[in-house]
Amino acid sequence: MAGKYLVVGAGFSGAVLAHRLAVLLPESHIEVWDEKSHIAGNCYTARNPETGIMVHQYGPHIFNTDKKPIWDFVNQYVQLEPFFHRVHAHVDGKVFSLPINLNTINQFFGEKFCPAQAQEFIREKGDGSIGEPRNFEEQALKFLGAELYQTFFYGYTKKQWGCDPRELPASILKRLPVRFCDNDSYYEHPFVGIPREGYTVLVEKLLQKPNIHLKLNRKFSPGEEISGFDHVFFTGPLDAFFQYKYGRLGYRTVTFEPFVSEGTFQEVAVMNYCEESVPYTRITEHKHFAPWETHSKTICFKEYSKETTEADPPFYPKRLARDKALLKQYRQDAEALGQVSFLGRLGTYRYMDMHHVIGESLEFAQKFSAAVRTGTCPPVFPNQEAFA
The set of catalytic residues is 175, 179, 252, 282, 303, 351, 353
Region of 20-28, 153-161, 196-204, 368-376 interacting with ligand UDP (CB under 6 A): 153-161
Which whole-number Å values give the CA distances from 25 to 35, 99, 205, 358, 365, in the listed order? Answer: 25, 44, 18, 19, 9
CB of 252 to ligand UDP, least distance (A): 9
Applying CB under 6 A, the site for ligand UDP has a residue count of 13
Give, as ranges, the residues between 183 and 242 that touch ligand UDP (CB under 6 A): none
Stretch that binds ligand UDP, among 1-9, 109-117, 172-180, 205-213 (CB under 6 A): 172-180
Taking CB under 6 A as the binding criterion, the range among 28-36, 149-157, 340-348, 356-364 that sits at the site for ligand UDP is 149-157
The angle at the Cα of 156, spanning 152 to 157, to the nearest 5 degrees, equals 105
Residue 149 as a binder of ligand UDP (CB under 6 A): the answer is no
User: According to the binding rule CB under 6 A, does residue 386 interact with ligand UDP?
Assistant: no
Binding mask 256-285 for ligand UDP (x = CB under 6 A): ----------------x-x-----------
173 touches ligand UDP (CB under 6 A): yes
Tell me the CA distances in angstroms from 61 to 64, 198, 286, one per residue in order. 9, 10, 10
Q: What is the DSSP string of 299-313?
A: EEEEEEEEE--TTSP
What is the rounded end-to-end Cα distance, in angstroms, of the chain?
35
Distance CA 306, CA 254 (A): 6
* Shortest CB 273 distance to ligand UDP, Å: 8
Closer Cβ to ligand UDP, 234 or 316, answer by number: 316
What are the backbone angles phi and psi of residue 65, rounded to the nearest 5°?
-155, 155
- Using CB under 6 A as the binding rule, the residues of this chain from 46 to 105 that contact ligand UDP are 89, 98
The answer to whether residue 251 forms part of the interface with ligand UDP (CB under 6 A) is no
**DSSP one-letter string for 93-152:** TEEEEESS-HHHHHHHHT----HHHHHHHHHHHS-TT--S--SHHHHHHHHT-HHHIIII
Please pick, from the candidates 44, 96, 156, 229, the single residue that binds ligand UDP as defined by CB under 6 A. Answer: 156
**Residue 364 found at the interface with ligand UDP (CB under 6 A):** no
Asked if 152 touches ligand UDP (CB under 6 A), the answer is yes
Where on the phi/psi map is residue 305: left (φ > 0), alpha (ψ -120 to 50), or beta?
Answer: beta
- Choice between 274 and 365, CB closer to ligand UDP: 274
Binds ligand UDP (CB under 6 A): choice among 63, 153, 187, 220:
153
Contacts of 115 (CB under 8 A, 6+ apart): 102, 180, 181
CA-wise closest residue to 125 among 103, 102, 97, 146: 146
Determine, following the binding rule CB under 6 A, whether residue 157 of this chain makes contact with ligand UDP: yes
Chain centroid to CA 366: how far? 23
Binding stretches for ligand UDP (CB under 6 A): 89, 98, 152-153, 156-157, 160, 172-173, 175-176, 272, 274
